[in-house]
Amino acid sequence: MPAPNLFLIGVRDAKAATAFYGDLFEIEPTFTSPHYVAFEAAPGVLFALWTGYGEDAVPSLPRTTEVGLMVPGPPEAVDEIFTRWVSKGVDVVQEPHDAVFGRTFVITDPDGNLIRVSPVD
């Protein structure tokens, strides 16, 4: 059975979301259209932004899923990313703290999608 290889994030404005995620993750898109933008997260795995969710991609809508960035290294590596991202003006949901799986924090994108940074499992 093949593994999942496409992860879609609902956004209101593909151009603005592309700028946000490109700057945040320091990556360039591999495919761009007015309503769909894809970034290659790993060979054969896409992280994509899509405006197809329409009115559901609003910041006030509660989210229960997260985009995850797992980082190698000590807990301070998570704190360093937090400091760098806060300097970019991100909206913080949870400050860095120690959870059962290690050091972590959560921010949101402009559409309210959650982004968690944590250590590599």
Instruction: Going residue by residue through the chain, which has 121 residues, state the pLDDT in tens, using 9 for 90 and above.
Output: 789 999 999 999 999 999 999 999 999 999 999 999 999 999 999 999 999 887 777 778 888 889 999 999 999 999 999 999 999 999 999 999 999 999 999 999 999 999 999 999 8
Same-domain pairing of 73 and 46: no
d(CA 89, CA 20): 10
**Does 79 map to a domain?**
yes
**Does 59 map to a domain?**
no
Cα 93 off chain centre by:
13
Same-domain pairing of 72 and 97: yes
Considering Cα of 70, then 74, then 79, then 84, what sign does the dihedral take? negative
Q: Which domain holds residue 20?
A: 1-54
pTM above 0.85, yes or no: yes
Burial classification of residue 25, based on how many CB atoms lie within 10 Å of its CB (0-12 exposed, 13-18 middle, 19 or more buried): middle
CATH code, domain carrying 86: 3.30.720.110
Backbone angles phi, psi at 117, to 5 degrees: -110, 135
Residue for token pair 């190698």: 72
**Does 49 map to a domain?**
yes
Element (H, E) at 27: none
CATH code, domain carrying 33: 3.30.720.120
Same-domain pairing of 79 and 39: no
